[in-house]
Structure 1
Amino acid sequence: MTVFHLRAAGTSLVLDARGVAPSILHWGSDLGDVDVAAWADATVPAVPPSSIDVPPQLSLLPSLFEGWSGRPALTAGGPLRLVSASEQNRAICVRSENSDAEVLSELKLSSEGVLRVRHSLTNRTGADLAVPGLDVLLPIPAEAAELLDFTGLWCHERQPQRLPLRHGVWSRESRHGRPGHDDAFLMVAGEPGFGFRTGRVWAAHLAWSGDKRIWAERSALGYGVLGAGELLAPGEVVLRPGETYETPWLITVHSEHGLDGLSDRLHPWIRRMTPLKLPRPVVLNTWEAVYFDHDLAVLTELADAAAEAGVERFVLDDGWFTGRRDDKRALGDWFVDDTVWPEGLHPLISHVRQRGMEFGLWVEPEMISPESRLAAEHPDWILGGGAGPTWRHQRVLDVEKAYDHLLERLSALLAEYPIAFLKWDHNRDLLTPGDAHRQTRALYRLLADLRMAFPHVEIESCASGGARIDLGILPLVDRFWTSDTNDPLDRQSIQRWTSVVVPPEYLGGHLGDGVAHVTGRTSALGFRLATALFGSAGIEWNLTRASPAEKADVAAWIAEHKRLRPLLHTGRVVRADTPDPAQQLHGVVAQDRTHAVYALVTVGTPAAALPPPIRFPGLDPDRLYTVRPIGVAPRVVQDAPPPWLANGVTLPGRILSEAGLPAPLLVPDQALLLELN
């Protein structure tokens, strides 16, 4: 055995595999070319009083047997002993075993500095073995004394919360059968006061779409950890002799430069591992435009308005299938309603395609309405037997039992119609204990089989909006619906924090009505346009009711988005740490730093009559940049604007980043777009 040292992109991982149990000695900044064996010998700690009589060290699979009194990685069986360890191409494989099980631990460090870790447990007994819990733990240093994770509600997802990491466990658990609107999403431990641009941070995300837990723990012994794993109910996973359970990947990242440093690693890794077809098409979704009012003449007129504005993909939302006139019935009966569509969807799709647009369709395959034909024919397919309350007037379909039916129905739709896109929804929690593991695995298999059979069809993960956004499902989909709200004020926060992990081109953001359908808040068109510009852009508004001036602004916005999307969907996402929380700044900078777009956003009333200067992060300090405003001019309250706004200004990147430019006096809920070349 030996000491392994993985290095990539400023990150080091050191694993000592010379003892009974392998130990991670370092995960963080690059240690350089060092004799790691000699260093490992020098890092053996003292033996504290009233403790085990050997130096305490945190192993890869810590347990009571080694003196670890914190939350263990494996919660059953006897002590594990190291059998073998090997390293190849920045990946370490470690085998440990006891009389009951063999555990294979995989640690992979990508070229971008993203560290993935998972365990596989194989039953070595002659009887069935229930998996009580198997988690991944990684050490964090004492400097990581502040935590950031997320919570939320429907239409208010991924809201940040911070707290100090003291002795004990801060644990976040999801029992929704999906990550949920309150998903912890990303757990970050860092130096107190870390921000977007400053502070050392260590972060973890569990790539799993079912029940899970993620936690941080600081032991009184001195060790700290980030840990995560699938949250299994008793008896949920039982292994027959020789069978293996594999944990989800724990995706971890270290940054010396705050939260933006996490994005600097995660975004290029995601883009390489799950590449999208670019450019991302501009979408119009019919939901907030017509809801269940599916009428060919109405939708044809809407398609005409979309095409005239420059839309590239027209998506028909809920209401197209048999008996679906509201949200209380018909889920599971995936046949086109011939009373609404006597010729099927062919006339609408033909018209959409004649106008130069792709066609997309909404489905919710994992759900079933209690009074549907499918429920009458197959009551045994209702998960949990229909116990407990309905949710949105629906129950959950057992995907494993109904697998062949779902694959046949969806395949029939995709074979009959030239559908380029499925908006795949999931509008309720499971609320049945012990079903999340097999339901999630069956979903993954269904998505994979559909993609294999119809590789041209893109799929969007929607779960009552943003309740299933994770890196476990991402390899099987092409887009996330970030939230059911199109209110730009709420969207600013939701998109800001979601994009710490997920690149913007994977995140759907739509232009909504002037009065937001969810919140009832009225927003200026310019604010709505600027908010929807940066991601996978679209519209969820009945354009046939827009004024000629509004239609012209929307068409100009789409043209601007198309011009900028080569930058927006490949560049580096940056965010400023602003001293006034009412004023935010985010942007995208080209990889070669020759081009950038920023949004200065007011999400409240500024604290001072003259707000802080606009400082532009991510620029080359030695290049000259011309700064000019673009898009719809925001509303301001000022007797005179800063002079530089009239014709733009050309200054070095160092000045723009460090000193900045005077900000115009934007009123609340406004956005100023600035392009730099």
Structure 2
Amino acid sequence: MQTWRLDDSAQTIVVAAINNNMAFVAYWGAVLPEHEDVNQLVKAQVRDLTGGMIDQNAPVSLCPVEGNAFSGMPALIASDAMGTALMPRFTLQHACYNKQALELIYNDVDLGLTYKASISLAIDGLWQLSSNLQSVDDIQVHWLAAPVLPVADKTPRALEFGGRWCGEFRLTESSFGPSALVRENRTGRSGHEHFPGLMTASQGANYCQGDVYAWHYGWSGGHKMVAEQLPDGRRQVQFGHVSHSYRGMAKTFSSAKQYVAFSAHGINGVSVPLQKYVREELLPRDLLQKPRPVHYNCWEAIYFDHDVELLQDLASRAASLGAERFVLDDGWFGQRDDDTTALGDWDLDLRKYPQGLTPLIDHIESLGMGFGLWFEPEMVSENSQLYRAHPEWVLGHATQTLGRQQLVLNMALAPVQEYLYDKVNQMLANNAIEYIKWDHNRVLPFADVSQTQAVYNLLARLRSVFPHVEIESCSSGGGRIDYGILQHTQRVWLSDSNDALERLRIQHHAATFLPAIITGSHVGPRCCHTSGRVHSMNFRAWVAAQRHMGMEMDPRELTAAEASQLLSVVKWWKQQRSWLLAADILRLDSGDEAVLAEQHLAANGEQFVVFAGVADSSEQISPRPLPLTGLDAQALYEIDLVNRDELVNLSRGEMAIKVDTLTLSGSYLMNYGVTLPWQFPNAMWVLKGKRL
């Protein structure tokens, strides 16, 4: 027997291989003592046999395969050139190991297959795993999972994220049972419907306590997840590219990186390293060293009605409200007067911009703002010069159903790559553009690994030539958000919904995986264009201030009072952003289901902000105390209600927090909590805390 132990400050992973067979994870959980005998541990976790079972349990290995009576989902399904199913018997050939990385190489000489499993520390508290398969002959791979991990018996709750357009990151809960929980996302993108993540949790676990395990599959091209309980009670989780998306025969296949974390301290315990990994490992380091600019996006002000003088006026108004970057959205190119035409014709529309973009950009820069531009390079309209010239560039057959009145370009074709690179390169080289909103507004006709990899390659190529240009991943809002696309982009548009109430919930759940610094959130119009709801300016502004703040409405509609309220919140956000966007987002366990609350805790623990969103009417009359988290129990904290000017007349009690700062211990704040004033629904309390 061979064993390998991997440790960080939060967890221990023990991997074992017996008789050079495929290795398995014998333990994954809280940190074990250094003197733990892992050989004894492996022997101790063997389960008993009884009637109706074969004579030895096939392990839930890193790559369970068919052929040895494994009763669960195989991690590899492949066939040879004749269509015959391959059932490999892998033998360990080589192990490369240190305490923070393990690489195991297996082969099957008869089938000519080599399998590699890699496990390494991504950042303290977070591990990354990937698998690779190589074949001597061309084969077809139908399914290849990243290295498979077992599910702890003490975490029977499966928490996953579904949703829809303008309603992303809806948290749903299931229990393990005799049927596998299988999610197969065939949209060709991460998807509004199926975010590639999962948590399993112990009974009673919440944001601040309990055992929680997390998985995230960093791939933008559609994924498959299997969360399965075997007949003997053991459980496994598999993630990989959606089945049958490796198109055609090949000799080499790889999974994306799968990120995993364990915490004995609730969901926040896995969220913190996930957020930190994005901030500190995926983002370019220079991005963290300069202030994140307040955005203004003109889409919901003008749609396709572009006029230079009007845009200059909007820019002036946005600058007066504190905006620092102006983003010109859809409608600037080709003959793009509505959403049925011109995608693919990435030349400036001289009807709308007879002197080019220079007059607009010069005006924007004179206001102290940078300029950003919208693209949707992966798509093409039937009514476009590009489609008429190259119908063969379309992904899928000629009679396919349109999506959002558009088709998808086959990004794996070299001429398509060159055409798009040249067009985007031309705009970036000839104009002062610091930001791209890169959109992706329909599902693919089918999932294709080469399509996704080609998108990554194009983004990487552009970033290498224009490293100063920041790129946002947008896909009808949150349709393409994952750690794969974030290898190449520096911001995500979380949802097309600017409804502050809906946004409050979306942001809250997305914080499981996403830090504030890359999560765009904008102040929408008074009447939300996607829900029809009307919210106060204060509520809209504070919800946007929870993340990377921006505006996306027509500033001409603002009353003087609304403009003043918005400017006040923007100024506050600018004063805090240097530490706020690098803070950990800790969700709070509110005793009131109507309150969605989170605490943004500075990296040094010296200050924090609590955003307590009142999303509905409470069951009880008076607000319940809101316990905080992550503080030093022995320290004293000065807390202050930032927006006490939003007190309403129905809040009649005499409360110290309404008129003054309070000094309270971390122990009190975490064990009892902060008692906030009564407030109408669709409002936000903002509390600032400072360690004394």
Same-fold status (TM-score > 0.5): yes
Q: Which residue of 1 aligns with 2:688?
A: 675
1:514–1:525 Cα contact (<8 Å) kept: yes
Q: Of 75, 78, 100, which residue of structure 1 is paired with 2:77?
A: 75
Partner of 1:115: 127
Alignment of 1:2 with 2:2, yes or no, is yes
Q: 2:553 aligned to 541, 546, 555, which one? A: 541
1:410 match: 424
1:306-352 alpha-carbon deviations (Å, 9 max, x no partner):
22222111100001002011111000000000011001111001111
| Residue type of the alignment partner of 1:267 | Q
Instruction: After superposition, give the CA deviation of every residue in 1:3-55 in whole Å (9 maximum; x if it has no partner).
Output: 10000122111111342221210112111212212322333333433333235
User: Do structure 1's residue 161 and structure 2's residue 175 form an aligned pair?
Assistant: no
C-alpha contact (below 8 Å) 1:427/1:463 kept by paired residues:
yes
Which letter does structure 2 place at the counterpart of 1:327? D
By how many angstroms is 1:392 displaced? 1.5
Paired position in structure 1 for 2:45: 43
Q: Deviations over 1:557-584 (max 9, x none)?
A: 1111111112221112111111221122
Cα deviation for residue 389 of structure 1 reads 1.8
Give a deviation string over 1:65-105, Cα, whole Å, max 9, x none: 33321001112322222222220351111111112211011
In structure 1, what residue type is equivalent to 2:281?
Answer: M
Q: Is 1:339 aligned with 2:347?
A: no
1:78-477 residue pairs with structure 2 within 5 A?
78=87, 79-88=89-98, 90-98=100-108, 99-100=110-111, 101-125=113-137, 128-136=138-146, 137-233=148-244, 236-239=247-250, 243-276=251-284, 277-278=287-288, 279-401=291-413, 402-431=416-445, 433=446, 435-477=447-489
CA distance in 2, matches of 1:297, 1:480: 30
Instruction: Assess, with a 3 A threshold, how the Cα gap between structure 1 residues 199 and 337 changes in structure 2: closer, same or farther.
Output: same
User: 1:635: how far off?
Assistant: 5.4
Q: Is the 8 A contact 1:9 1:111 kept in 2?
A: no
Asked whether the equivalents of residues 591 and 626 of structure 2 are also in contact (C-alpha less than 8 Å), the reply is no
Aligned residues: 670
Tell me whether 1:14 sits opposite 2:36 in the alignment. no
The answer to whether the 8 A contact 2:589-2:627 is kept is no
Question: For residues 634 and 218 of structure 1, do their structure 2 counterparts lie closer, same or farther at Cα, with a shift above 3 Å needed?
Answer: farther
Output the amino acid matched with 1:261: G
Pick the aligned partner of 2:658 from 626, 637, 645.
645
Whether the aligned pair in 1 keeps the contact of 2:656 and 2:662 (CA below 8 Å) is no
Of 142-151 and 263-272, more deviation after overlay is shown by 263-272
Alpha-carbon distance between aligned partners in 1 of 2:492 and 2:543, rounded to the nearest angstrom: 16
RMSD: 1.6
**TM-score, normalised relative to structure 1:** 0.96
**Contact kept? 1:485, 1:518, Cα under 8 Å:** yes
Specify the alignment match of 2:30 in structure 1: 29
| CA distance in structure 2 between the partners assigned to 1:504 and 1:333 by the alignment | 34
Distance in 2 between the 1:450 and 1:208 partners?
Answer: 20
Matched, 1:572 2:552: no
Contact persistence 1:526–1:670 (CA under 8 A): yes
Q: Is the 8 A contact 2:546 2:611 kept in 1?
A: no
The equivalent of 2:490 in structure 1 is: 478
* Aligned residues of 2:10 and 2:262 also touching (Cα < 8 A): no
Q: C-alpha distance in 1, partners of 2:292/2:420? A: 28
* Distance in structure 1 (CA, Å) of the matches to 2:12 and 2:517: 29
Indicate conservation of the 8 Å contact 1:605/1:667, yes or no.
yes
Deviation, 1:611, is 2.2
Whole-angstrom distance in 2 between the partners of 1:649 and 1:175: 53
Paired residue type of 1:149: E
Partners of 2:269 and 2:246 lie apart in 1 by 40
List runs of 5+ in structure 1 lacking aligned partners: none
Structure 2 length as normaliser, TM-score? Answer: 0.94
What is the Cα deviation at residue 131 of structure 1?
A: 1.0
C-alpha distance in 2, partners of 1:453/1:110?
A: 27
1:630 to partner: Cα distance: 1.3
In structure 2, C-alpha distance between the alignment counterparts of 1:570 and 1:369, rounded to whole Å: 40
Asked if structure 2 preserves the Cα contact closer than 8 Å seen for 1:627 and 1:674, the reply is yes
Q: How far off its partner does 1:234 sit?
A: 7.1
Q: CA deviation at 1:189?
A: 1.0
Q: Distance in 2 between matches of 1:294 and 1:235?
A: 42
Q: How much has 1:272 moved relative to structure 2?
A: 2.0
Indicate if the aligned counterparts of 1:330 and 1:372 stay in contact, CA closer than 8 A. Answer: yes
Aligned partners of 2:498 and 2:336: how far apart in 1?
Answer: 24
The alpha carbon displacement at 1:235 in A equals 6.4
Structure 2 portions without partners, runs of 5+: 79-85
Secondary structure of 1:210's aligned partner: coil
